[in-house]
Amino acid sequence: DIVMTQSPLSLPVTPGEPASISCRSNQSLLHSNGYNYLEWYLQKPGQSPQLLIFLGSDRASGVPDRFRGRGSGTHFTLEISRVEAEDFAVYYCMQSLKTPYTFGQGTKLDI
Amino acid sequence: QITLKESGPTLVKPTQTLTLTCSFSGFSFSTSGVAVGWIRQPPGQALEWLALIYWDDDERYSPSLKSRLSLFKDTSKNQVVLTMTNMDPVDTATYYCVKGIRAFTIWGQGTMVTVS
């Protein structure tokens, strides 16, 4: 199985400030077709997760442009340019290159 | 509008078999490229991918749970059924139904299953 490791697991942030979450895999997620099969999900308290970023850097429909996915191969980052109150939640990375798809441990963004 | 909704028992006893149904609307398995999967989340813990079934009847399972899982899709009813045998308290979790082959664009509301 591909192991996904997120850091930090907890990230204190002040509203209006930027935030960055790291996600590393123990195998490259770069497919021969040139795409990185890495997704980012956001889970707000009491809610189902929702897709933020797919293919490493493509924003899902309706996702604000303050969210940016970067990286390739084995190291990826999710950047939030200016954190807003609604962004305080848990963020997960997931690899979809090979089954079983695997998630990181989650990063809690809090004040 | 695409929606998915999970249904099934909220409480099962150890060693019993869990059967969960995902009922969906807004898409069909008759369309190429469609897949529905299951993901679970124990209380306070991370997400865990369980299984995926494709429009062409291909199925993929988590190797660690493969011997206990099975999927069935009912194209006429727009449903996917997940069965998990020999339930254990460690299987207590919220079980989510999801749409997508790789990126899961739509999630169900989830159903909490307690094994006790």
A39, B103: Cβ pair inside 8 Å?
Answer: yes
B81 to chain A, minimum CA–CA distance in Å?
19
Predicted local confidence at residue A13, as pLDDT: 96
- The answer to whether the Cα torsion of B42, B47, B50, B55 is positive or negative is positive
Nearest residue of A to residue B94, measured between CA atoms:
A48
Type of residue at A14? T
Predicted local confidence at residue B21, as pLDDT: 98
Interface test with B, best of A99, A105, A108 (most B CBs within 10 A): A99
CA distances from A12 to A104, B34, B86 (A): 19, 39, 41
Q: What is the pLDDT of residues B64-109, one digit of tens each?
A: 999 999 999 999 999 999 999 999 999 999 999 999 999 999 999 9
Instruction: List chain A residues with pLDDT less than 50.
Output: none
Enumerate the residues of chain A whose CB falls inside 8 A of the CB of residue B105: 51, 60-61
- B4 with B23: CB under 8 angstroms? yes
Judge whether residue B59 has pLDDT over 90.
yes
A16 to chain B, minimum CA–CA distance in Å?
27
Interface test with A, best of B6, B95, B102 (most A CBs within 10 A): B102
Query: Across residues B24-43, what is the average pLDDT?
Result: 95
Predicted local confidence at residue A62, as pLDDT: 96
Predicted local confidence at residue A111, as pLDDT: 81
- B38 with B46: CB under 8 angstroms? no
Predicted local confidence at residue B51, as pLDDT: 98
B107 to chain A, minimum CA–CA distance in Å?
7
- A101 with A3: CB under 8 angstroms? no
A103 close contact with B: CB closer than 8 A: yes
A60, B62: Cβ pair inside 8 Å?
Answer: no
Cβ atoms within 10 Å of A21's Cβ, excluding its own:
22
Enumerate the residues of chain A whose CB falls inside 8 A of the CB of residue B71: none
